[in-house]
Amino acid sequence: MIVLDENSLDCAVELIKNGELVVIPTETVYGLASNALDGKAVSKIFAAKGRPQDNPLIVHIADISEADNLVSSFPEKAEVLTEKFWPGPLTIILPKSDIVPEEVTAGLDTVAIRMPSHPLARKIISLSGVPLAAPSANRSGSPSPTSVCHVIEDMGGRVKAVVDGGNCTVGVESTVISFAQEKPRLFRPGAVTTEEIEDLIGDIEIDKAVYSKPDGAIKPSSPGMKYKHYSPRADVIMVSGSQEKYINFVKEQCGREGAYALCYDEDVPFLGARALSYGKKDDFSEQARKLFSCFRKLDSMGAEIIFARAPERTGMGLAVYNRLIRAAGFNFIDLSRRH
Ligand code: TXA
Ligand code: MG
């Protein structure tokens, strides 16, 4: 895999024009991109990632005007959100137009669109002259990559090139909100928070899958939500409760080989070498930025079981909570109920 930079973007653009894949940086996570209007190029993404065929992709654009061709309608509330949050970590789902190939939408009649704020992402899209379909550039099921090293770990040998845009500043994938039904519905929480969205367009629905385990019998509205996701190789157990209870619990558990704590900065002095912090207790942006690289680091440290301190669910904390509970396969211990 060759590593390109801002001075060699023409090479990335050439690959895209030839129907090949390139990993591009975005402010959220690195994306595995191809020409979104070329169904054959898009199917290569599924093969390289090992992604289930029924999981649709996000289409990335460089300018708001490019969205019009991709959709058959653009409700006013969606317009209000894109005016405020584009470019940035917000994806909207709208009824698709005929030019979007079914490989992108996995046969659905809606399309997910996002305009990233990373300058290199926008430059690559503009120079390519086409919108780019791009899921996170990880192997299906593993944590999304937030640095070039992560990309090489997962995609080396499977994709020809990655454009180095530095470490991702957001660190978790975009907020996904759907306008395909009566009331706007949040499918995936991200850096654009529910509170910020509701301030602008009023009440939205939060899809059940944001908090709770998908019910095998019900077809999820966003296919990606049914898969176990974002996980390190180690088993993750999410633990909630006071700091004192968490620390006592982890001290008991971390006696065994391969057991580690994924905790706040404030907990580390009490836990020692088997603890890795994913940020300060009240700094949700820092937690989001560090979470996925902590998963990878814990794997490299030889972790077999990880006791992760559960984040708050307000603001961007909800995005961190959502990724952690999925990584944990909904394994949750609530210490506040224990004496
Ligand atoms: O921040 C991001 O969104 C990153 C960067 C690369 O832009 N991309 C990303 O893509 O996270 P991906 O494929 O890993 O996640 C896209 C999610 C999936 O859960 C998928 O099921 C959902 O969006 N999705 C895409 N199109 C959809 C549609 N038409 N209807 C419902 N859900 C959709
Ligand atoms: Mg993904």
Tens of pLDDT along 243-261?
999 999 999 887 788 999 9
Helix locations, the chain, DSSP H: 9-17, 39-49, 76-85, 102-105, 119-128, 148-155, 194-201, 243-253, 268-271, 284-300, 317-327
Residue 219 has pLDDT above 70, yes or no: no
pLDDT class for 296, splitting at 50, 70, 90? very high
- What is the 8-class DSSP label of residue 96? B
189 lines ligand 1 (CB under 6 A): no
What residues have CB less than 8 Å from 129, skipping those under 6 apart?
A: 17
151 lines ligand 1 (CB under 6 A): no
93 lines ligand 1 (CB under 6 A): yes
Nearest atom of ligand 1 to the alpha carbon of 170: 1
Q: What average pLDDT does this structure show over 32-53?
A: 94
138 lines ligand 1 (CB under 6 A): no
d(CA 42, CA 47): 9
Alpha carbon of 222 to ligand 2 centroid (Å): 12
pLDDT at 229: 65
Residue 1 has pLDDT above 70, yes or no: yes
Laid out side by side, the sheet with 332-334 consists of: 275-277, 259-263, 305-309, 235-240, 332-334
Closest ligand (CA of 190): 1
Closest ligand (CA of 141): 2
Q: Whose C-alpha lies nearest to ligand 1, atom 13?
A: 135
d(CA 275, CA 327): 18
Handedness of CA 237, 241, 242, 246 (dihedral sign): negative
Q: For residue 309, which amino acid is it?
A: R
Residue 133 backbone dihedrals phi, psi, to 5 degrees: -80, 130
Q: What average pLDDT does this structure show over 39-62?
A: 94
Tens of pLDDT along 29-38?
999 999 999 9
Closest ligand (CA of 140): 2
3-state secondary structure of 92: strand
pLDDT class for 84, splitting at 50, 70, 90? very high
**Ligand 1 site-directed mutation target among 222, 225, 229, 322, most atoms within 8 Å of CB:** 222
Alpha carbon of 36 to ligand 1 centroid (Å): 13
Can you give the pTM of this predicted structure?
0.95
Residues with CB under 5 A from ligand 2 (ion): 136
CA nearest to 241, candidates 291, 294, 311, 290? 311
Residue 76 has pLDDT above 80, yes or no: yes
What residues have CB less than 8 Å from 163, skipping those under 6 apart?
A: 4, 5, 6, 9, 12, 22, 23, 24, 25, 120, 124
> Long-range contacts made by residues 192-200, C-beta under 8 angstroms, separation at least 24?
192/85, 192/88, 192/89, 192/90, 193/315, 193/316, 193/318, 193/319, 194/318, 195/314, 195/315, 196/85, 197/81, 200/80, 200/81, 200/84
145 lines ligand 1 (CB under 6 A): no
d(CA 82, CA 175): 12
